[in-house]
Amino acid sequence: MAISSVGSDTTQYTQTGTTQQRGLATASTTAPPAGASSANPSVSAGSDMSTASSVVNLSAGAQVIADANAQGIGFGSGTFTIPPGMTDPGEIAKAVAAQVRQENHRPFDQNKHRYVGAISESDFENEIGNLGGSQSSAATLFGDLDSNGDGSVSDSELYTALGNTKSDTDSATSQALMQLMDTNNDGSVSMTEFSNVEMGLTNAEKPTTDN
């Protein structure tokens, strides 16, 4: 099948026999060499993202993920198998979504047909640390995402915030998330950088019993 690209992010489709696979290209997250200038010099791993002055934007590919997140759809990453003979885009989307649910740990209630996970404050801070953020920035971001003040970030709150990185790019919360995503400090979030944060935070979710 044809190879298509979105901005600087490449989505490649390959076909072997009757099985099609969708692979997400891996973007480089290597820091600039010592002494080299950076497009986003005020941000470094572990820095307080809420006070960084440089504005970060989403690449075209990252905007695709943000659009999906705004609808509560997890983009995921990796390679997914499309059943042989399946050509309808809607059916393909359902098949890939089912595989994404198996690959990540996003709690899903089959009876309620919705995601019911949430991230505790301590788990949130740990994951932000794993992603390169500081404890102070994690605390600020947690407070911003916990919109109902119940002491946890629900799946809905998380995906709303991820979606808002496109629709409300200049907000403090969106910029804090994108500063976290922009691991190579070039001022632009690639598809892979966005997906890494989405998956990291999603996998920190644990099932809740009060949804």
Q: What does the mean pLDDT of the chain come to?
A: 75
Q: Are 189 and 75 in contact (CB under 8 A)?
A: no
Top mean pLDDT of 10-24, 113-127, 157-171 is at: 157-171
Helices (H), the chain: 60-70, 89-103, 121-130, 135-145, 155-167, 172-181, 191-202
For residue 208, what pLDDT band results from cuts at 50, 70 and 90? confident
How confident is the model over 50-79, as a mean pLDDT? 80
* Ranges of each domain in the chain: 56-73+111-211
- Collapsing DSSP to helix, strand or coil, 85 comes out as coil
Question: Is the pLDDT assigned to residue 110 strictly greater than 50?
Answer: yes
Q: Which residue has the higher pLDDT, 8 or 163?
A: 163
How far apart are alpha carbons 101 and 153 in whole angstroms?
19
Question: Is the pLDDT assigned to residue 162 strictly greater than 90?
Answer: yes
How confident is the model over 21-38, as a mean pLDDT? 37
Question: Is the pLDDT assigned to residue 34 strictly greater than 90?
Answer: no
**According to the model, what pLDDT value does residue 112 have?**
75
Q: Are 23 and 12 in contact (CB under 8 A)?
A: yes
For the ranges 88-97, 99-108, 141-150, 169-178, the lowest mean pLDDT is seen at 99-108
pTM score of the predicted model: 0.65
Q: What percent of the chain has pLDDT over 70?
A: 67
Give CA separation, 176 vs 112, 180, 195, in Å. Answer: 32, 6, 16
